[in-house]
Amino acid sequence: MENIDLIKQASLDYPVYPLIASRWSPRAYDTKPVEKEKLQRIFEAARWTASSNNLQPWYFLVGFKGDEVYANILSALVEFNQLWAVNAPVLVLAMAKTTNHKGELNHSAAYDLGQAVAVLSLQAMAEGIYTHQMGGFDVAEATRLLGIPADYKVVVAITLGYRGEAGILHPNLLNLETSPRNRRSASESVFTGSFGHKADFL
């Protein structure tokens, strides 16, 4: 089989930092545990994300294969995600504290959590650890099973681990694992002058 890392390498219109071009979200995971030192660096990177008013609303509940947190996160995933996520050695539930220290709504909470997860993902890639972010899970069930307080919004579940061989996947997932990545061009998303007017520098 052709090298999957080459298949998944971004087809760039303009050069970017290599980690960005090589980052992708596998479904095939090796069961090898992630070293403590790598996890320390991955979550340290998330710690230094920018946030509105430095509220740092991101929080992560980490489960390791075999423990109760892992089992509860896995059980809240939709069946499609359970099919492959069960092999990942680490499951993470990412949540945002929705209020500030005055008890007022923090409108930037989910945005800032998203930034933290993006930074976490790139640091993981630098460590040789792959992530896959999932919206396909029962938020209410995850909140209940894991005892998440009312002012914390569960936003995303994440797998962390070393990439495994694509052949371990269910046949229905194999094509997703081995197909090239694609994105719309930046010129379709970036405007100048007015909304919908393509930026003249792209």
121 band by pLDDT with thresholds 50, 70 and 90:
very high
Residue 1 token pair = 């089989």
Q: What is the pLDDT of residues 142-187, one digit of tens each?
A: 999 999 999 999 999 999 999 999 999 988 899 999 999 999 999 9
- Reported as a pLDDT band with limits 50, 70 and 90, residue 5 is confident
Q: Given a cut of 70, is residue 2 above it in pLDDT?
A: no
- The answer to whether residue 75 is domain-embedded is yes
Domain assignment present for residue 82? The answer is yes
Q: Which domain holds residue 61?
A: 18-167
Q: What is the DSSP string of 84-148?
A: HHTT-SEEEEEEEE-B-TTS-B-TTHHHHHHHHHHHHHHHHHHTT-EEEEE--B-HHHHHHHTT-
Asked if residue 128 is part of any domain, the answer here is: yes
CATH code of 40's domain: 3.40.109.10
pLDDT band at 130 (very low <50, low <70, confident <90, very high): very high
As for how many domains the chain has, the answer is 1
pLDDT in tens, 73-113: 999 999 999 999 999 999 999 999 999 999 999 999 999 99
Asked whether residue 70 is assigned to any structural domain, the reply reads yes
Residue 29 lies in a domain: yes
Confidence at residue 1, expressed as pLDDT on a 0 to 100 scale: 45
Q: Does a structural domain hold residue 152? A: yes
